[in-house]
Amino acid sequence: MTMLAVKNLLHDKVRLVVTLTGVIFALVLIAVQFGLFLGFLETSSNIVERSGVDLWVTAPGLPHVNGGSAQPERRRYKVLEVPGVAKAEPYTLGFGNWKLPSGAKESVQVVGYDLESGMGGPAELVAGSGNALLADDSVIVDEHYRNKLGVTALGQTAEINNVRARVVGYTRGMLSFTTAPYVFTSFKHSQRYMNLDRDQTIFVVVKLAAGADAQSVKRALKAALPDSEIFTNSEMAWKTKSYWVFSTGAGITTLMGAALGLLVGIVVVAQTIYAATMDHLREFGTLKAIGATNRYLYRVIVEQAVLSAALGYGVAIVVAMAVVNAARNGDALILLPPRVAAGLFGLAVLMCIAASVISIRKATRIDPAIVFRA
């Protein structure tokens, strides 16, 4: 690294602080907004991705996994007839009203699954057991939402759509993309909570036999059930993600926030680097006069930009991690995996280099004869 790049950057402390503030602000904004986006992606479809289901059989016109409509439960017998299907069970997922002991109401998403197969049930239980759901009116909620649902202890009762519900366990990590927490119960109980007839289900979920090809079985199911729609688990996950994240505009908004952060960062850093270049214009002229090539001037400016990026990134990543940790107690999941954190450094460097382009043009076009003006 050239002496001049480092020394010039550190010489003007106020300008350095302004530059770094711009870089840090932009990077934290990008990290948080992009982390929110990743959190949206994760939470919008975690109920599908953690379900252990291979194929989903639904009524036609399903917009996303949370928007299913009732279909006859007996369809699962037709499903079971299709070669390659090992298990087919009813499964419900739909919105309901949770009535707190205080009388207040919260929206919840009732998940009803077959207790014997466990397909679509909670991935991680931290209190209670799945078997406890065999008891009448029993439900399991996620520990994250205990306060929201007014649950202070196991055994506590509430109501879902005016039907009694007793909390018998807690899950972990089943965060909801919507404001409505997931409440797990047995399929039979879920029919009562969701006012379904005894022969109705929302989904038939399928476990494939060992070695069966999902797409082949899907085609066979489609042929056997022309009035149903069939999705593989990844198709259902993507359908749900794309609906919540893109169709509702939630994802686009967070991505635009991240893009705005990038833009703000480029503008702020460009302004400070440009101002610094203008302040040092005579020095660049002197450099050219005493024999520096334009390449050397590029180097000085780009090195200053990269150094600003590195210093700014160091602080920004600490702030971003603090925000991510703080968000763990809130309803919005912010994810900052190592790959994204590393990518953010690359982005910081690119942002600062992009911000220095105008300065580079200015510096390399200086007439070295400027040095002869007193």
Partner 1 sequence: MKTVIEIRNLEKRYGSGAGQVRALEDVNLDVQAGEVLALMGPSGSGKTTLLSIMGCILQASGGSVKVNGREVVGLRESELPRIRLTHFGFIFQSFNLFPALTVRENVAIALELRGTPRREARRVADRLLADVGLADKASRQPADLSGGQKQRTAIARALAGDPQIVLADEPTAALDSVSGKTVMEILSSLAHDRGRAVVIVTHDPRVLGFADRVVRIADGRIADEATEAAA
In the bound state with partner 1, the residue whose beta carbon lies nearer, of 52 and 368, is 368
Q: Which of 219, 282, 328, 361 binds partner 1 (CB under 8 A)?
A: 282
Least distance from partner 1 to the Cβ atom of residue 5, Å: 10
Could you identify the residue written with the tokens 């018998």?
168
Nearest to 181 by CA among 79, 90, 291, 96: 96
Comparing CA positions, the residue from 371, 359, 70, 31 lying closest to residue 202 is: 70
Among 100, 283, 315, 319, binds partner 1 (CB under 8 A): 283
Closer CB to partner 1, 198 or 373, in the complex: 373
Minimum distance from residue 65 beta carbon to partner 1 (Å): 60
Q: Compute how many residues bind partner 1; rule: CB under 8 A.
A: 25
10 is an interface residue for partner 1 by CB under 8 A: yes
C-alpha 166/C-alpha 149 separation (Å) is: 12
86: closest CA among 111, 44, 52, 59?
52
Q: Which C-beta is closer to partner 1: that of 223 or that of 369? A: 369
Backbone angles phi, psi at 12, to 5 degrees: -100, 95
Q: Does 238 bind partner 1 (CB under 8 A)?
A: no
Tell me if 286 contacts partner 1 by CB under 8 A.
yes
Tokens matching residue 97? 């009203």
Q: Burial code of 110-143, b = ≥16 C-beta within 10 A, e = fewer?
A: bbbbbbebebbbbeebeebebebbeeebbbbbbb
Cα-only R_g, the chain: 29
Options 14, 153, 210, 374; binder of partner 1; rule CB under 8 A: 374
List, in order, residues 6 or more apart from 326 with CB less than 8 Å away. none
Q: Name the residue nearer to partner 1 (CB basis): 300 or 351.
A: 300
**Least distance from C-beta 364 to partner 1, angstroms?**
11
Residue 103 touches partner 1, criterion: CB under 8 A: no
* Choice from 292, 316, 344, 355 touching partner 1 (CB under 8 A): 292
For residue 158, give the nearest of 145, 177, 173, 144 by alpha carbon: 145
Query: Does 320 sit near partner 1 (CB under 8 A)?
Result: no
Which CB sits closer to partner 1, 178 or 286?
286
Draw the binding track, 296-315, toward partner 1 (x: CB under 8 A; -: no contact).
x-------------------
Minimal distance in Å, beta carbon 374 to partner 1?
Answer: 5
What burial class does residue 156 get, using C-beta atoms within 10 Å of its C-beta: 0-12 exposed, 13-18 middle, 19+ buried?
A: middle
Residue 287 binds to partner 1 (criterion: CB under 8 A): yes
Q: Which residues bind partner 1 (CB under 8 A)?
A: 2-4, 7-8, 10-12, 282-283, 286-294, 296, 368-369, 371-372, 374
